[in-house]
Every structure is written in structure tokens, then in C-alpha cells.
């Protein structure tokens, strides 16, 4: 097993860091976007302020993603439960101007080097797509 780190591209959000942090640090806000969640892949979605539980098609068991640490207006750290490969996710925020907050996602995991070769490209693409989605959220309206 090797510790592996993935970092997304840096995204730009036209909102201040307080607005972005308030939305992303409350997982219940995912309810505003339930229609965008692929119903054929995600089942039994349960959401609380600090935790999301769901069943992903193909995994066969319920998994959970929970907020494990927060640094106000800067970082939200998530941990995963019931996955064969443990990982942590950080969302990092940095306000550079009044309505200009930069965002990046970092994932750290332990996995065999063979898996890294298989997942590298897809992980990077997925992280960059996630940043694009997070940049489109109407933070000032939520």
C-alpha cells in the first residue's frame, strides 16, 4: 500500500469564502440538487448536516461520507466509511477578492500501486469535474 494524493485544478467561485463555506459545510444542502443525482447509480440516499449515507450501484453495501474536521472559511475535511479503500477528502477555500473565492479538492488514500495506475486518469477527471460543478452552485442564493 502506498499513500497517494490527488489534487484537482483550482476553480473560481463568484462568492465570498463565508458564503461558500456555509453551503459546503452543511451537507443538507445537497437536497437542493437531488434531481441531478443519477437515480440509477445512487440509492437510499440519507443526508444530515454532517453526513451522507448512500448505496452506490455496484458496491453492494451502504457507504458514508462524513465531515470530520472544519476550519472556518478555509477547509472542510471528509472521511469515508465502509469502503474497501480508505480515503480523506479536503475542500480548500481561499478568498482572493470580495467576490472571488478559489477552491481545490484534495484526496489522500492508501492503495496498492497497481490500483493507482488503473485509477489515475479517472480520479483526476472526476476531481476536475467536481470542481466545475462546485463552481456553478449559486452560493449567494442558498
Domain boundaries, the chain: 2-141
- C-beta of residue 50 within 8 angstroms of C-beta of residue 63: no
CB-based contacts of 11: which residues, under 8 Å, 6+ apart?
Answer: 102, 103, 104, 131, 132, 134, 135
Per-residue cell: 73? 472559511
- The domain covering 2-141 belongs, at the CATH homologous superfamily level, to START domain (3.30.530.20)
Q: What is the pLDDT of residues 6-60, one digit of tens each?
A: 999 999 999 999 999 999 999 999 988 888 778 888 889 999 999 999 998 877 7
119-139 pLDDT, tens digit each: 889 999 999 999 999 999 999
Amino acid at each position: 500500500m502506498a499513500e497517494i494524493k490527488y489534487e484537482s485544478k483550482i476553480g473560481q467561485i463568484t462568492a465570498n469564502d463565508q458564503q461558500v463555506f456555509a453551503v459546503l459545510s452543511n451537507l443538507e444542502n445537497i437536497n437542493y440538487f437531488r434531481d441531478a443525482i443519477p437515480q440509477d447509480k445512487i440509492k437510499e440516499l440519507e443526508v444530515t448536516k454532517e453526513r451522507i449515507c448512500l448505496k452506490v450501484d455496484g458496491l453492494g453495501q451502504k457507504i458514508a461520507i462524513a465531515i470530520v474536521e472544519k476550519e472556518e472559511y478555509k477547509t472542510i475535511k471528509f472521511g469515508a466509511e465502509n469502503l474497501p479503500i480508505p480515503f480523506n477528502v479536503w475542500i480548500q477555500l481561499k478568498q482572493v477578492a470580495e467576490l472571488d473565492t478559489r477552491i481545490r479538492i484534495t484526496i489522500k488514500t492508501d492503495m496498492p500501486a497497481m490500483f493507482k495506475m488503473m485509477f489515475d486518469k479517472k480520479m483526476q477527471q472526476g476531481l476536475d469535474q467536481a470542481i466545475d460543478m462546485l463552481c456553478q452552485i449559486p452560493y449567494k442564493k442558498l
